[in-house]
């Protein structure tokens, strides 16, 4: 418990330091030989996709645990539900930023803002599916909504491997994946430290914001529960 209290104050400081250093490295490393300084967009573009993947994976895991635990442990199920919505929201933000930074880079290097190739289209579909997930949660309430949302989250995650494999399965405008993408994939070794630092920094940022969102969602759940109890007491 003491560790969590300490972490509550130390984590934001670590995150700010990491983001500051990540920004410093991103702006001071030598420019890419082929692309020039516009290649620095990659130092933010790649980390946003790594963070998106982590957020949506967290959402999937929490949704599965919710479905398993909802009839056994209400407390665990509610915690997992809160974490699922928190990570989905953060994932949607990262996903939007990944598309926005990619589009800005594409306009500068390819000369186009957008192309309907398999990678970009499946990514847009992924973003829209998670927007639908959040809309479902916003407009409906109750235990049935949570169960339905958890099922939707499992279906939504099916698009994530599709997005990743799109550059291998189809001919796309988008370059090969940076990680596990084969011999021709990845960032030049001299640029890798900037990418790595920013991945760590934005993951730390994601964890911090998800933690705050989780706390807010737990407060809302507890308040709703309290209102439900008061309503029942008034009826009885």
Residues that bind other proteins (CB under 8 A): 23, 27-28, 31, 36-38, 40-41, 44-45, 48, 70-71, 74-75, 77-78, 89-90, 93, 96-97, 100-101, 104-105, 107-108, 143, 205, 209, 212-213, 215-216, 219-220, 222-226, 228-229, 232
Nearest distance, CB of residue 220 and other proteins, angstroms: 5
Whose Cβ is closer to other proteins: residue 39's or residue 177's?
A: 39
Phi-psi region of 218 (alpha: psi -120 to 50; beta: other; left: phi over 0): alpha
Nearest distance, CB of residue 62 and other proteins, angstroms: 17
Interior angle at CA 172, CA 186 and CA 35, nearest 5:
50
Whose Cβ is closer to other proteins: residue 108's or residue 128's?
A: 108
Whose Cβ is closer to other proteins: residue 35's or residue 168's?
A: 35
Tokens (6 digits) for 141: 């309430």
Nearest distance, CB of residue 73 and other proteins, angstroms: 9
Nearest distance, CB of residue 89 and other proteins, angstroms: 8
Distance of CA 208 to the CA centre of its chain: 12
Residue bearing tokens 């909504």:
145
Q: What is the DSSP string of 48-106?
A: HHHHHHHHHHHHHHHHHHHHHHTTT-HHHHHHHHHHHHHHHHHHHHHHHHHHHHHHHHH
Nearest distance, CB of residue 165 and other proteins, angstroms: 26
Nearest distance, CB of residue 48 and other proteins, angstroms: 7
Q: Are 98 and 49 in contact (CB under 8 A)?
A: yes
Whose Cβ is closer to other proteins: residue 3's or residue 236's?
A: 236
Q: Are 99 and 71 in contact (CB under 8 A)?
A: no
Whose Cβ is closer to other proteins: residue 151's or residue 220's?
A: 220
Whose Cβ is closer to other proteins: residue 6's or residue 73's?
A: 73
């Amino acid at each position: 418990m003491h560790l969590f209290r300490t972490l509550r104050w130390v984590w934001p400081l670590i995150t700010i330091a990491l983001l500051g250093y990540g920004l410093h490295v991103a702006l001071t490393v030598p420019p890419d030989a082929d692309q020039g300084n516009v290649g620095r967009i990659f130092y933010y573009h790649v980390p946003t996709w790594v963070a998106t993947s982590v957020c949506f994976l967290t959402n999937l895991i929490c949704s599965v645990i919710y479905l398993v635990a909802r009839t056994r442990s209400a407390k665990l199920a509610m915690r997992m539900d809160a974490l699922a919505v928190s990570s989905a929201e953060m994932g949607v933000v990262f996903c939007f930023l990944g598309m926005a930074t990619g589009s800005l880079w594409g306009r500068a290097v390819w000369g186009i803002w957008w192309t309907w190739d398999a990678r970009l289209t499946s990514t847009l579909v992924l973003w829209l599916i998670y927007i639908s997930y959040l809309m479902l949660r916003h407009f409906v309430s109750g235990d049935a909504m949570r169960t339905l949302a958890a099922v939707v989250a499992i279906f939504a995650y099916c698009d994530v491997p599709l997005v990743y494999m799109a550059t291998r399965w189809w001919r796309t405008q988008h370059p090969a994946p940076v990680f596990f993408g084969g011999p021709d994939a990845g960032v030049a070794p001299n640029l890798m430290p900037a990418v790595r630092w920013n991945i760590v920094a934005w993951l730390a940022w994601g964890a911090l914001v998800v933690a705050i969102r989780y706390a807010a969602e737990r407060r809302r759940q507890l308040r709703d529960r309290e209102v439900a109890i008061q309503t029942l007491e008034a009826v009885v």
